[in-house]
Amino acid sequence: MRNNRVVLGPGPPLEERVGGLVEEWIRDGRGSDHLVTGKAFFALYSWYGRRWAEHDIGWSEYVAASYDFIGGRNGWEAMLRERTECEGCRDTYRLENIGLCTGCMRYTCYACGAHEACAGEVV
Ligand SMILES: [Zn+2]
Ligand SMILES: [Zn+2]
């Protein structure tokens, strides 16, 4: 899906990339073809969980619609049980125990922490 590629970048800061998707989603009638899945959803949902208060209702509706689209609570919990590798130390973690750097969009464990070279944060 194109939207997943937009979220995963590269490009302007995550906030701007997602803002564009939210605008398109609303403008085009809120179809599911504008939502995000997989790693892009994980990034969006983790990041938005910290930033929701800074955004308007369109953002929260977009995140909620994507959440429903990946299968709601069951889909999210299944995603959290998936395993992936920290791209810093190569240790394997469940998604519920690993973060993602919003600068380079790589999975990053909390022991490795924020990347000095990246403007993003680990969410
Ligand atoms: Zn690591
Ligand atoms: Zn990074």
At 5, give phi and psi (nearest 5°). Answer: -65, -35
Query: How far is ligand 1, taken at its centre, from the CA of residue 77, in Å?
Result: 22
- pLDDT tens digits, 34-64: 999 999 999 999 999 999 999 999 999 999 9
- pLDDT tens digits, 77-107: 999 999 999 999 999 999 999 999 999 999 9
Stated pTM of the model: 0.95
The pLDDT assigned to 23 comes to 97
Say yes or no to pLDDT of 1 above 80.
Answer: no
The pLDDT assigned to 22 comes to 97
Token code pair at residue 51? 């930033």
Identity of residue 80 = L
Question: Greater confidence, 40 or 120?
Answer: 40
| Mean pLDDT (whole number) for 6-14 | 92
Query: How far is ligand 2, taken at its centre, from the CA of residue 102, in Å?
Result: 7
At 45, give phi and psi (nearest 5°). Answer: -70, -40
* Bridge partners, 84 (sequence order): 93
- pLDDT tens digits, 17-29: 999 999 999 999 9
The pLDDT assigned to 80 comes to 98
Query: How far is ligand 1, taken at its centre, from the CA of residue 93, in Å?
Result: 9
Cα separations in angstroms, 35 against 19, 38, 81, 85: 12, 11, 22, 25
Burial class (CB in 10 A: 0-12, 13-18, 19+), 87: middle
- Closest ligand to Cα 121: 2
Ligand 2 is an ion; residues with CB less than 5 A from it? 101, 103-104, 115, 118
